[in-house]
Amino acid sequence: MIRRALLAAAALATFGAGAIGGLSAAGASSCRQQVYEETSYSLCEVTAADDLRLFLTGPNGNYGNFRAIDQALAAEGKALGFAMNAGMYHRDRSPVGLYIEDGVEKHAIVTAAGPGNFGLLPNGVFCWADGSFYITDSRKFEPIRGNCRYATQSGPMLVIDGKLHPRFLKDSDSTYLRNGVGVDEAGTRAVFVMSDRAVNFHQFARFFRDGLGLKNALYFDGNISRLYAPELGRHDGGFSMGPIVGTVIDSAAVKE
């Protein structure tokens, strides 16, 4: 995986505030900031009514950034609503774990323990199809595979059936900007979250469980965490990313 030194540099590089091409998106996913335990978080909610997709490669190779995806969507008369990085990746931007895009599996699932955050079991899979969202322990994924048009694996799990990951330490001094996703109990709403300052795993997981009331949540990554949210004036940039998750809206819904 990408070395921590590179990740730190990526976290500092941005395109600055503002939407792609200076546009703001009407009809984009509902994004807001919320304060919990004196820490601010940026979050975007997605429901069954939204067109949520994963993005990795296009005609010219890896997308790598939000602008490239938005430009590719323009050919369909579409645009990005919101987006964020969606799982860990290798130096060549390929996914570390399971990756399914539009029904096609592009990388197999990894269920063995290993080094780093990804291998801190239980890790998990976030997947969806037709407005139904799932987050599950990677080792329990196979029974729901058929329900998933899109899927991305990452780790560790943050919240597992209402309980925080057993390895998290409340007073850990390992703090980074972090991003992840949680789903409601009905599986009809997914909430994508990015911390606005460095937090530890325990803090981040508590926000999903206690601040948002979500019983299952999955960590995407830390330090390289990036968000595109026009409603919040966010278009974070830096080194090229691997998997990216985002909503797709009609270009007609994007206004000056």
Question: Rounded distance, CA 138 to CA 109, Å?
Answer: 8
Q: In the predicted model, what is the mean pLDDT of residues 87-114?
A: 96
Which among 225, 239, 177 is positioned nearest to 203, based on CA atoms?
177
The pLDDT, as a whole number, for residue 137 is 98
Residue 238 has pLDDT above 70, yes or no: yes
**Confidence band (pLDDT; 50, 70, 90) for 40?**
very high
Domain that holds residue 149: 4-255
pTM: 0.89
Average pLDDT, the chain: 89
Residue 12 has pLDDT above 50, yes or no: no
CA dihedral 51, 218, 156, 171 (to 10 degrees): 140
β-bridge partners, 107? 99
**Confidence band (pLDDT; 50, 70, 90) for 29?**
low
Looking at the structure of the chain, the number of domains it has is 1
**Confidence band (pLDDT; 50, 70, 90) for 27?**
very low
What are φ and ψ of residue 91, in 5° steps?
-60, -30
Which among 180, 252, 175 is positioned nearest to 209, based on CA atoms?
180
What are φ and ψ of residue 254, in 5° steps?
-100, 125
Which among 251, 227, 244, 192 is positioned nearest to 68, based on CA atoms?
244
Q: In the predicted model, what is the mean pLDDT of residues 6-24?
A: 36
Residue 18 has pLDDT above 50, yes or no: no
Residue 7 has pLDDT above 80, yes or no: no
37 CB-near residues (< 8 Å, 6+ apart)? 203, 206, 207, 211
Instruction: Please state the length of the chain.
Output: 256
Helix (H, G, I), strand (E, B) or coil at 8: helix
- Assess whether the previous peptide bond of 122 is cis (omega < 30° from 0): yes
